């Protein structure tokens, strides 16, 4: 089944403790992206990647890192999480050309206390 898989689905952590949210897609998509979704603010792009080793900032990149060492994986790294990063996070992938539609993962609900 074509899908984007995120792990974990739920995570509670403490301020300052480094964490990684994994994302993997099995559709051979070139384009991958991370979004956060907050009430009243909608979906906001954190980082995106057009291909292996090519990443760029989205609208809200502060406090986040990403890497794209393999085409299928695009982990999101929070080096020192803070409470304002409590949010619902989505990874998404797309072919990047022609059809611009994204396939989204099921989301990771992160709480930073």
Among 11, 19, 50, 77, which residue sits at the site for another protein (rule: CB under 8 A)?
50
Stretch that binds another protein, among 11-19, 21-29, 64-72, 101-109 (CB under 8 A): 101-109
Measured over all CA atoms, what is the biggest interatomic distance in the chain, rounded to whole angstroms? 42
Which of the residues 77 through 96 are near another protein (CB under 8 A)?
90, 92, 96
Among 42, 62, 69, 113, which residue sits at the site for another protein (rule: CB under 8 A)?
42
Per DSSP, the three-state class of 50 is strand
Separation CA 25–CA 29 (nearest Å): 7
The reply to whether 104 sits near another protein by the rule CB under 8 A is yes
Residue with tokens 């979906």: 43
């Amino acid at each position: 089944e074509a899908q984007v898989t995120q792990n974990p689905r739920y995570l509670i952590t403490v301020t300052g403790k480094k964490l990684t949210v994994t994302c993997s897609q099995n559709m051979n998509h070139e384009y991958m992206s991370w979004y956060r979704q907050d009430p009243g603010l909608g979906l906001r792009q954190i980082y995106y990647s057009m291909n292996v080793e090519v990443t760029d900032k989205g609208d809200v990149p502060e406090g986040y890192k990403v890497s794209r060492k393999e085409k299928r994986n695009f982990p999101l790294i929070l080096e020192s999480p803070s409470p304002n990063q409590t949010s619902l996070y989505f990874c998404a992938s797309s072919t990047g050309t022609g059809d611009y539609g994204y396939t989204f993962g099921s989301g990771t609900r992160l709480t930073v206390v």
